[in-house]
Chain A
Amino acid sequence: MEQMRKERVDRGLKVRTEGIYAISSYREMAYLLGPRLFFILAVLSLPFILDLAPYWKRVINIMCTYAILAISFDFLANYVGLVCLGGAFFTGIGGYLSAIFNTYLGMPVYLSMPAATLGGAVLCTLLLLPCLPLRGVYFAIVTLMYPLLITRVIEALNIFGGTNGMTGVDSLPNEYVEHYLVILLSLLFLFGMRRFVNQDIGLVLRGVKDNDQSVRASGIDVTSMKVMAVFIASFMGCFSGAYMAHLYMWAGLSLFALDFSIIPIASVVIGGGGTLIGAVIGSFILVPLSELLRAFGTFRIVIYSVALTAFIVFKSEGIMVYLQRKYHQFERWVKI
């Protein structure tokens, strides 16, 4: 019996497109830009394609909202090493703030959303501040608790509409603004973050994840780096929340629902952690799936959780890394 092993070799084209040679011919450029352009154009044209199926047009908004949340989770978990188990905390704070600004203070939509995004990010960062100097597991624990606790607090004190939530939030001007606001922003966040994590400051954050002691010994305050990262992540999360409050014209306890915590995590793990684009692709797969499974109610969370665990244990690289490998490399069996 001959022993065989799988060998992976970079495609010639991949090697040729490294560095300055990328612009040597259209073929090389197409190889590099093709997938990106295809992705961007596909996402941008979704609202028109789905004119045929109006029900699914609503799904675009939710899909992109989750994509932003997933980017935020992926950034925190795989580039800074902070596992946020409560994405719902960000959406809830953002949504409620936006609703408060809009209904109580009478701000128009185009003011209340940015204000809530920014204010929410500051508020979330302040609330998470105590656990940032500690090891990662504390952050996970505290973010897990916050959405659950805040729900109880709102119920108990009966503030902000109590269990009924706050109604009468202004909607966005029209359908296309709804679609394109979230589509463009998710693309912006995606490519912005991809760029950011490869800047020098992004490398410092990755250093914090790999070995925070050594970052400290280099004279960099790790806590303030983490504060910045949490601010960025909660900024994205709070935007999603504020957007949803205006999309549904309502802010209620369901903005703190488990879905906002677990679906982004599942998206990242299934899509491929640490790639950012994987997070988006994961949520583009999971959210429509979740619409199809709407009849199952909470059983969807079971499906996500099981899929999540299965991916972590058996296919921890995720879809995106797999696709990237297929795109850049070919495989063959060789004799040992």
Chain B
Amino acid sequence: MSFDLNFIGILIGAIMASSVPLILAASGELITERSGVLNLGVEGMMIIGAISGFGLMVVTDNLFLAVIGSMLSGLIISIIFGLLTQSLLTNHVATGLALTIFGIGMSAMIGKNFVGIPGKEFPLLFVNLKENIPFLGPILFGHSIILYFAFLLPFLTNYFLKKTKIGLIIRAVGDSPTSASNQGINVILVRYSCILYGGAMCGLAGAYLSLIYTPQWIENMTGGRGWIALALVVFATWSPIKVLVGALIFGGITILQLHMQAVGLRIPVQLLSALPYIMTIIVLVVISRDSRKIKLNTPTSLGQIFYKEK
């Protein structure tokens, strides 16, 4: 019995690990969207973060530099999005799509020389506790520091948005940029900052994939996780804690699907792999059906262009 319990613990640990990139990217995008900006470039920023992190790890042999560098590169590429949507007033949807296409292309170009290089072992914390405590051990211990940060992040984000002055300003900008602007808030500056923060978090999410989760570089290795993160923000109705819940559900589906494949159930592998995407659609339908629920937390100005007459 203790073996079974331990196995469940390992399973939960695996689910947590697979939800990390979703939590990081969705929490970042949530802040961006709360300021009224819809950045569909999550997938592109993640993949740039993934290759930058992996590339820096190979070149410098320093994991700390790799992680910081991936966040910086996510931030740098999100500047393009900020420049276009905030300074040149372009359409958010189209610009985000361009960012994703550009990011996937650019990452493959940079990553050409990194294909097939094995990754480096990322230090995991409290490994001996993981092995010595049944059930709770594999759940609570033996993870990377990024995982602990990811699980803390939704709570920090929640506190930040609800209890701090800057959080209030961000929400005000997202709900009514005109009145915020009349109050003397620099709307464009706030939105730029939120876009850059979102970019850095997406970069970190990518680095988690290429440095820890599957430590290697594969073209297109984000495999739609950026889009699922975007769906998660809607699923969570823009509330950070629900992002955590949603990410765990999707992580659960991913791990479940892998285990079903391993067990050799007579269900086609492709159908199981399609499960996370189909579930995303179903969940979106269930959440969106009640338009009042959606509207409660939706930033009113989401995706709208703000222009201040000078």
A-B complex is real? no
Residues of A within 8 A of B (CB): none
Residues of B within 8 A of A (CB): none
